[in-house]
Structure 1
Amino acid sequence: MDKIRMQGMRFYGYHGVYPEENKLGQQYKVDVELHLDLSKAAAEDDLTATVNYAEAYTVIKQIVEGPPFQLIEALAGSIASRLLDIYTSVNEVTVRVTKPNPPFEVYFDGVVVELSRKRDV
């Protein structure tokens, strides 16, 4: 299966369990991998035969910058479900959400949640 990867997208959101996270917010990093057949797009140079990643970016941005989720697992799940709903040519999607600054004293690059969802056949 072919893939489109959208890597290193950064958005400001207000997700978290703690009230200060919902009030102050922080930057989130999102990576998305779309699995689909790109043979027609490659052969015909036709945008309608692929996923317009500018549009997909807008969908992802609206979710991350929209109403807050308590868990980044729920945020990633919402992104995956929405992309599968909109883009019927996508067979599987992998979403990776990084929360770089959890609200407790830690010394690492952030917490990352990665989930994959497949289209129900």
Structure 2
Amino acid sequence: MSDLIALRGLRVFGHHGVHPEERANGQTFVVDVVLGVDTREAARSDDLSQTVDYSLLAAQVTDAVSKEPADLIETVAERVADLCLDHPRVEQVEVTLHKPEAPVGLPLDDVAVTIHRSRT
């Protein structure tokens, strides 16, 4: 079992959605990322290079969500998962992409998709 490193509630402005007004006006998305990482060596050495730099990861996730519009939040979540798995120390990842301002025509708190990906 891996140790977990989590980023929760990262707010990113993007232009994703199937409706023209979503693409034109954009909206805030909220990203949660949970990484499966063996942190034992980092803990022993107290060395950042032996783990995942979560400030760098937050910047990379922000970049992935704020650029290139997609119709589906599933597509954006996959984009985030792929960049997380590009890090050699990440064994698995869970990404939840929230779209709290989704135009569904009814009152709701949130629409979200959660995906799980691993190296295997």
Query: Which band: TM-score by shorter chain?
Result: over 0.9
Counting only pairs closer than 5 Å after superposition, residues 1-121 of structure 1 correspond to structure 2 as 1-85=2-86, 87-120=87-120
Q: Secondary structure at the match of 1:42?
A: helix
Q: Normalization by structure 1: what TM-score?
A: 0.95
Query: AA paired with 1:60?
Result: V
Q: Partners in 2 of 1:81 and 1:106 — Cα distance?
A: 33
Distance in 1, Cα, partners of 2:9 & 2:37: 20
Give distance in 2, aligned partners of 1:114 and 1:80. Answer: 10
* Structure 1 position 104, deviation (Å): 2.7
Amino acid of the residue matched to residue 5 of structure 1?
A: A
How far is the alpha carbon of 1:101 from its aligned partner?
Answer: 1.1
Query: Which runs of 5 or more structure 2 residues have no equivalent in the other structure?
Result: none
For structure 1, the residue ranges without an aligned partner over 5 or more in a row are none
* Count of residue pairs the alignment pairs up: 119
RMSD over aligned Cα atoms: 0.8
Does the residue aligned with 2:114 lie in a helix, a strand or coil?
strand
Any runs of at least 4 consecutive aligned residues in structure 1 with deviations exceeding 4 A, and if so which? none
The separation in 2 between residues aligned to 1:27 and 1:66, in whole angstroms, is 13
SS at match of 1:91: strand
